[in-house]
Structure 1
């Protein structure tokens, strides 16, 4: 009798699991159609008309799911806000994603129109075109959708809507009040966001924030990220002769701005890549708990170094994740005179280095820029924020023009936050896999205005495949990640804390 009961129990579980998988695949198939529809609307962050057309699509599709939606004017492009009917006895979860995308150069894509989604399957080291009519309930999760914003960030928006559909189909109660804010200028730095969050503070109030942007860990395991680095920029220009001069006539006489710039840049870091500007790393400590978490991330140093084609990485940290815990100082571009076939035998009139400084919560962007400028002054440079006049050139031996970019702050939520523990436990239970927990990621998401103004914890829960080519030609989304995203949203919105 016990044997029969065990067999019946197994058959029930197996049948239930099979039904759930079939239901999920049907939902993935519907999501694919919706992603194609959404992506077909160009969303270039620089084009106002594109953004408006996407806002119209969002209003229609969120309202169809029972959301109350609003288009929120800002000093730039409008934000999109939606919420389900509120109940006072429920905690509130706020989701952040973005609807805008990077510009495209169609000539670099392996398809005629980057906004017309193409279905492809793996074919050796490349990809083979497939037709959507061949997709049925037995979906191959290794196939991919290619198109601008399939992964960054329209795919996750559709995954969210698909999870809402599935929750309704299963008559599943949502134990949260649900709010959604969609940014329309994320790819332009979200400059209107800080003021907009202040203005719409009451509307956006929530208990915690979940950001769905970026890829899961390279292992493909469920991923929760507790913070991201901020960013600011500096542009440094040194000045030589007021006009380019013949290097035969004036080489050895006219100061060369390229060498001046190279010399001052070389004083900023040691040969191991550590910043040696006084005070740059001040305030940063890693306790035992933090080190335990960052060491738990399953990075493969051989794979990372092979992908980068570098033999020896810099030694700001002992390993990759530790390196991300410190602010960086990066030369993102250098220019002086002409190069390649256009090279000329001249002493250039100027040389420019473009720097970006990635920030961590302990580092203040304004302070770090000030430290860099003080360091440059110690190297004997007179600092200006404009191009020097002839009179100013004659008055100073070494002049540097410095222009500053705006600051996007870093954020990092406490690793023991109860909402974070809820997310990790839900993902582990729903997906049956250990969750990769990342203390802070290297990239920047403009989330600090929410944290600073709303005073709520924030967590990044990425949805898409690590090799999605976001911002680049041939951006893509793995079909298996659509299923993954739907399951993640479903789990978060159906689990009580």
Structure 2
């Protein structure tokens, strides 16, 4: 690894210049005004892949934004790795909170500031530079590699499942590796071996055909805002459990080994409480904070609105009330079934005097790769050789819906090797990426491909 490490040192300035170029492209997938920028970013990425010696580089069109593919398949007898990432980014609002323009990357205090620096351009770029370094210093890769980098992750990957299904042979591999997650803390590398699934919906309650004068009609007509509050209160019991009938029927209990791994994270709940500024933490009885936020399912209200919203007061009885809800799901819950159970619950507990409508949104299945899988253990060894501390194993409370699609269609173990930090303002103003983890991440990935070859042969 000395030659690889020297290569990274020698080329660091040039790599950072290229990363700034990558980050300067405003590839915001959710805004149609940036459609050409997203295309430009895909082409930039494809050019990078060609320049380092990857082959069969293509920019595949989809019904939305393009998918970039590249491969290198000359490691005879070695396993094949599929590397996934995304080159699209979140919008930058509110712009006035950025200290420097979001698409004019700058380095301050050994952190690079720009939209996408941590999520996920910086981490995708690390994979490309790692492959470049190995090809330049060793003349080959220790494993066969396929890259699939999409441009729609920040809008839920609406067209990628269809792409994966149509190109299963092209994407066939022995392992899927993703760098789009965080380490648990600075200097504490962690491997995420599971993600929660997702089921989202909107509930609209309607009472009268128009807003009414609360003095004339209050007390005589059901208030949809009151009805919505009553309905939402019915979703949980007094012990923090979701009260939707059947919600927990398919929940797979975690093993004792997993509970020990989560306990080993040694999170200070009191420190978390202080940082969040809440009087006390809350959640399902019988589980720790880390278990509630990673391996247990949830039902959360993300937004509620009804009636008059502006400054002051307007004495109306609103005609409608709306709530937006997402559920985070765990193995073996099915998003479609959960949505059906919630609709049945709404119908059963609907207060009198209102009608309801449910609109479904994002869905994604949960997934878990066994802790003892050779690909996971190889990643742990690579981290520990670079960071010089034991790696921690986590299950993320968040969701990357496409991961379950890869797992289901391609039957691949999934390794989430993240190098970001929770403090890096992902999706917020002043997003940044610590260059310490950029440097160490390059070396970690270089070692990992060798470790993986030895583990999966």
Range into which the TM-score falls when normalised by the shorter chain: over 0.9
Q: Which residue of 2 aligns with 1:85?
A: 73
Contact 1:256 1:348 in 2 (8 A): yes
1:185-235 CA-to-partner distances (Å, cap 9, x unmatched) read 000000111111011111111000011102211243111111111212111
Q: Which residue of 1 aligns with 2:190?
A: 223
Flag structure 1 segments of 5+ consecutive residues without an equivalent.
1-15, 122-142, 382-395
Q: CA deviation at 1:151?
A: 0.9
Question: Distance between the aligned counterparts of 1:310 and 1:443, measured in 2?
Answer: 25
1:251-278 CA-to-partner distances (Å, cap 9, x unmatched) read 1112100000101111111234221222
Q: Which segment drifts farther, 479-488 or 434-443?
A: 434-443
Q: Indicate how the Cα distance of structure 1 residues 91 and 101 shifts in structure 2: closer, same or farther if over 3 A, else same.
A: same
Contact 1:144 1:478 in 2 (8 A): yes
Contact 1:220 1:465 in 2 (8 A): no
In the alignment, which of 265, 268, 275 is matched to residue 232 of structure 2?
Answer: 265
Q: CA deviation at 1:401?
A: 1.3
Contact 1:118 1:146 in 2 (8 A): yes
Q: Which segment drifts farther, 351-360 or 104-113?
A: 104-113
In the alignment, which of 304, 308, 311 is matched to residue 279 of structure 2?
Answer: 311
Q: Which residue of 1 aligns with 2:210?
A: 243
Q: Which residue of 2 aligns with 1:129?
A: none
Q: Which segment drifts farther, 327-336 or 163-172?
A: 163-172
Q: CA deviation at 1:173?
A: 4.5
Q: Which residue of 2 aligns with 1:276?
A: 243
Q: Indicate how the Cα distance of structure 1 residues 26 and 270 shifts in structure 2: closer, same or farther if over 3 A, else same.
A: farther
Question: Distance between the aligned counterparts of 2:401 and 2:443, measured in 1?
Answer: 24
Q: Which residue of 1 aligns with 2:422?
A: 466
Q: CA deviation at 1:77?
A: 1.6
Q: Which residue of 1 aligns with 2:266?
A: 298
Secondary structure at the counterpart of residue 363 of structure 2: coil
Secondary structure at the counterpart of residue 59 of structure 1: helix
Secondary structure at the counterpart of residue 97 of structure 1: strand
In the alignment, which of 330, 340, 357 is matched to residue 327 of structure 2?
Answer: 357
Secondary structure at the counterpart of residue 402 of structure 2: coil
Q: How does 1:25-174 map to 2 (within 5 A)?
A: 25-46=9-30, 47-68=34-55, 69-105=57-93, 107-111=95-99, 113-121=101-109, 143-171=110-138, 173-174=140-141
Q: Indicate how the Cα distance of structure 1 residues 439 and 44 shifts in structure 2: closer, same or farther if over 3 A, else same.
A: closer
1:37-58 CA-to-partner distances (Å, cap 9, x unmatched) read 1111111113321111011111
Question: Distance between the aligned counterparts of 2:385 and 2:113, measured in 1?
Answer: 31
Q: Which residue of 2 aligns with 1:127?
A: none
In the alignment, which of 435, 440, 443 is matched to residue 484 of structure 1?
Answer: 440
Q: Indicate how the Cα distance of structure 1 residues 110 and 74 shifts in structure 2: closer, same or farther if over 3 A, else same.
A: closer
Q: CA deviation at 1:330?
A: 0.5
Larger radius of gyration: 1
1:9-38 CA-to-partner distances (Å, cap 9, x unmatched) read xxxxxxx98x98665443433321111111
Q: Indicate how the Cα distance of structure 1 residues 89 and 445 shifts in structure 2: closer, same or farther if over 3 A, else same.
A: same
Secondary structure at the counterpart of residue 442 of structure 2: helix
Confirm whether residue 446 of structure 1 aligns to residue 402 of structure 2: yes
Question: Distance between the aligned counterparts of 1:32 and 1:335, measured in 2?
Answer: 45
Question: Distance between the aligned counterparts of 1:20 and 1:53, measured in 2?
Answer: 30
Confirm whether residue 346 of structure 1 aligns to residue 316 of structure 2: yes
Q: Indicate how the Cα distance of structure 1 residues 36 and 369 shifts in structure 2: closer, same or farther if over 3 A, else same.
A: same
Contact 1:424 1:435 in 2 (8 A): yes
Q: CA RMSD in A?
A: 2.1
Q: Which residue of 2 aligns with 1:391?
A: none
Q: CA deviation at 1:425?
A: 2.0
Secondary structure at the counterpart of residue 260 of structure 2: helix
1:453-485 CA-to-partner distances (Å, cap 9, x unmatched) read 101110111012221111111111111121122
Contact 2:365 2:401 in 1 (8 A): no
Contact 1:163 1:490 in 2 (8 A): yes
Contact 1:27 1:166 in 2 (8 A): no
Q: CA deviation at 1:172?
A: 6.2
Q: Which residue of 2 aligns with 1:333?
A: 303
Contact 2:75 2:141 in 1 (8 A): no
Secondary structure at the counterpart of residue 225 of structure 1: strand
Q: Which residue of 2 aligns with 1:131?
A: none
1:82-121 CA-to-partner distances (Å, cap 9, x unmatched) read 1113344110011111000011236334345211102223
1:386-441 CA-to-partner distances (Å, cap 9, x unmatched) read xxxxxxxxxx8331111111411111111221221222122223432211111344
